[in-house]
Structure 1
Amino acid sequence: MYSAIVLQAGDGGMGNFILIPAMLLVIYLFMIRPQMKRAKNEKKFQSEIKKGTKVVTTSGIHGKIVDLTDDAAIIETGAGKIKFERTAISMELSKKYVSPAETKK
């Protein structure tokens, strides 16, 4: 009986050899590649921002860009002006997200 168990365990040698690279490929395709694409798009966005753009920071602060330097941006919020690193700007607010009260101004 013991020899039957040992023989059965030895049959999957080539299958296990193929399984590990297949798992690594799946991890790359579903986790690493999309994250690299997001990071590339975010870096491109941060380099292309302009004055007057309405943005949201990574901490959730909404505001309008008043001034830009090489590595920082001054954002005007409801509380005043705040200086942020460009890397802290998460996304641009599109017109569909602006409240109707702001469009009447």
Structure 2
Amino acid sequence: MFFISDAFAQSAPAAATSASPLGGLMQMAPLVLMFIVLYFFMIRPQMKRQKEHKAMLAALAKGDEVVISGGILGRVAELGEQIVQIEVASGTVLSVQRPAILQVLPKGSLKAA
């Protein structure tokens, strides 16, 4: 009445237990390769976009025509350290944070009303 068969009681084959110097490295190679691909296709381009956006915000000047994060178009009326005043219509000014500015448009993109 033994419930453990002889096949389970045997030790592992000798080939599987022998440690080769490259065995651990070869198991890590797919993980390292996946990280390298992830870096070059996702992380690096995102860092480049962040750097370009930061430079665009630093170069922002009064009178620039911008798009803010809601699709609203307007002209920069005043610049502060963190807050920018955007004129969206004559007499209508919105206060937005600098990171909310998505894009600076070419001059003349907005038509005067």
TM-score tier (shorter): 0.7 to 0.9
Q: Deviations over 1:42-68 (max 9, x none)?
A: 011111100000000122110000111
Structure (1 or 2) with the larger CA radius of gyration: 2
Tell me, what secondary structure is at the counterpart of 1:26? helix
Q: Percent identity?
A: 33
- The one-character-per-residue Cα deviations of 1:16-38 (angstroms, maximum 9, x if unpaired) are 32111001000011001110110
In 2, distance between residues paired with 1:78 and 1:36?
Answer: 34
Q: What is the alpha-carbon distance in structure 1 between the residues aligned to residue 64 and residue 58 of structure 2?
A: 13
In structure 2, C-alpha distance between the alignment counterparts of 1:34 and 1:22, rounded to whole Å: 18
Measured after TM superposition, the shift of residue 95 of structure 1 is: 4.5
Select the structure that is richer in helix.
1
RMSD of aligned Cα (Å): 2.5
Indicate whether 1:87 and 2:88 are aligned: no
2:84 is aligned with 1:69: no
* TM-score normalised by structure 2 residue count: 0.70
Give the unaligned 5+ runs of structure 1: 1-5
TM-score by length of 1: 0.75
The residue that corresponds to 1:25 in the other structure is: 36
Segments of 5+ residues of structure 2 without an aligned counterpart are 1-11, 17-22
Give the conservation status (yes or no) of the 8 Å contact 2:64–2:107: no
